[in-house]
Amino acid sequence: MTMRVRWLGALLLPVLALPGCLGTAAPATPMGGPVPPATVTISAAQLPTATTPVTATSVAAMPALTLAGPFDAATYFARPGAVATPAGLPTLAPITGGGDLAAPPAWAYNAVLYQVFVRAFTPEGTLLAAAQRLPDLKDLGVNLIYLMPIQPSGTVKAKGSLGSPYSIRDYLAIDPAQGTEADLRAFIQTAHGLGMKVIMDLVANHTAWDNPLITQHPDWYKHDGTGAITSPQAEWTDVAALDYAAAALRQYMIDVSLHYVTADDLDGYRCDVSDHVPLDFWAAWRRALRAAKPDVFLLSESGGTTMHDHAFDALYDWDYSNDMLTALLSKRPHRMIVSPLSEQSEYGPAFLRARYLENHDHDRWAQYHTGGALRASSALLLAINGIPFLYAGQEVGTTVRPDLFEPNHIDWAAGDPALRAFFKQQIGLRRASPALSHGLLSDVAILPNNGLAFLRRAPEQTVLVLFSFADTPQRYTLTGGPFIGTDLRSGAPVSLTAGWDAPAYGMLFVAVR
């Protein structure tokens, strides 16, 4: 669908104003607080468009969306325009065009991803112990588990006492300290029984120095001018770079990937440093996996859009965490929504990003943000488009990032159960709401005093989302309504014809009618 792009005017969300009043709807949420008496109302013409490079799609300008039967991503989402084919690649259909590349599986648009480092996830550090925690993750509301590498780590040139999980010594083995392939199969079966999908890391760019492939197939590796096998980067001394000029290597990596999908019912892969591996390999790899399992899900750590068009269902959003941090520090909340909105406008709503505040390569978000700021930023992650991506321990506010090279585990006892309850509520809200899970993002408005508003719109539902990132109570005025509906968090009726009394770091999700 082609979407007209424009700033919020006198339309569905015509004027969001601030420190004024968004009226006193029924106490919209349990997050109420004292409100300053001053009221300021701004008009659409006063919105700071000159300083905000983001654009928003007008709901009024959008064609009506209808769905027949169950949610079908291929027909609900349509990316306009042709997709250019990189030099050297065979002509491929764009990702929504069927043929070689069918659309991402429908379930991916409703996914909440949760990353697990098995070695650090439990005191035992095993797949069997991790499987025992799956009911807890089911209760949290996540439905897509991503396992970091569980193969044996290399010992030659290893970093730390355990070596990196991304230094693979044997692609077709499971680290004995973490379990067996039967344990992996049992983990996946348990997850499936709970309604969850499981993907795991594929490290296709490099191997450990003691991987048998080095001696069996030295031609599968890159060599320097002296003929010696090299590392992919100078600082990655614990791994050796693979060379995809070797056709046999390509087939081997496809066979490895097919093994876990067919033998263990794995649901897909997250691919490490995937932009270091030729795109035409990934295209052939995808076709093989889709033939074996049509709803397989393939996530690229790398962010190039051609990866999405020709090989992957979703890409990492490398900007979102930094954008959120910048927004919180600079008190410019529109920065929090730049990439989600601009990508939808430029590439179409079928374009999927996995958005995160932290992962194994980042410091813990709670190390720098606490209280209301931590909750509000976490809630926004779960309110925007794309696939929200959590790292194990994030939901309880742990501040220690697990060491990749040494024995350690998450200290769950030191976590915050109240924060977990908040995450559970927000995840449940997203998954229960068609608009929040797979709706279009539109009508972004920047409110004075660090506020943000936008719509999520699906055929079944439209939700007005309001955030105050101010650390003091605010009163926001909204004109152009009436904005009448239901508070999704409390179930109470809401009328925002007068305004919203927002507590510090307040939030409101209203199913409008």
Q: What is the pLDDT of residue 19?
A: 28
Rounded to whole angstroms, how far apart are CA atoms 113 and 391? 8
Q: What is the pLDDT of residue 34?
A: 28
Mean pLDDT of 49-67: 28
List the structure tokens of 185.
């199969």
Q: Lowest mean pLDDT: which of 73-82, 245-254, 345-354?
A: 73-82
Tell me the pLDDT tens digit for each residue of 142-153: 999 999 999 999
Mean pLDDT of 66-85: 36
Candidates 474, 472, 458, 378; CA nearest to 423 is 378
Mean pLDDT of 22-42: 28
- Report pTM: 0.84
Burial of 20 (0-12, 13-18, 19+ CB in 10 A): buried
Q: Which of 8-22, 314-328, 469-483 has the highest mean pLDDT?
A: 314-328
Strand 15-16 vs strand 56-57: parallel, antiparallel, or unpaired? unpaired
Q: What is the pLDDT of residue 307?
A: 86
Q: For the beta carbon of residue 238, count every other beta carbon within 10 angstroms.
A: 22
Q: Hey, what amino acid is at 110?
A: N
Rounded to whole angstroms, how far apart are CA atoms 511 and 108? 23
Q: What is the pLDDT of residue 484?
A: 86
Q: Which of 194-208, 297-311, 482-496 has the highest mean pLDDT?
A: 194-208
Domains in the chain: ranges and CATH: 5-63+441-512 (2.60.40.1180)
Instruction: Place 102 in a pLDDT band, splitting at 50, 70 and 90.
Output: low
Burial of 265 (0-12, 13-18, 19+ CB in 10 A): middle
Query: Does 48 score more than 80 pLDDT?
Result: no
Q: What is the pLDDT of residue 480?
A: 64
Q: What is the pLDDT of residue 346?
A: 78
Query: Does 65 score more than 60 pLDDT?
Result: no
Mean pLDDT of 250-278: 97
What order do you get walking across the sheet with 440-447 strand by strand?
Answer: 440-447, 451-458, 461-468, 507-512, 484-487, 493-495
Percent of the chain with pLDDT over 90: 63
Query: Does 332 score more than 90 pLDDT?
Result: no
Q: What is the pLDDT of residue 409?
A: 95
Tell me the pLDDT tens digit for each residue of 412-451: 999 999 999 999 999 999 999 999 998 888 888 888 888 9
Query: Does 87 score more than 80 pLDDT?
Result: no
The answer to whether 357 and 114 are in contact (CB under 8 A) is no
- CA atoms in the 13 A half-sphere facing the CB of 235: 0
Mean pLDDT of 78-100: 35
The answer to whether 473 and 444 are in contact (CB under 8 A) is no
What is the C-alpha radius of gyration for the chain, rounded to an integer number of angstroms? Answer: 24
Rounded to whole angstroms, how far apart are CA atoms 491 and 481? 20
Q: Hey, what amino acid is at 140?
A: L
Rounded to whole angstroms, how far apart are CA atoms 346 and 441? 13
Instruction: Place 101 in a pLDDT band, splitting at 50, 70 and 90.
Output: low
Query: Does 235 score more than 50 pLDDT?
Result: yes
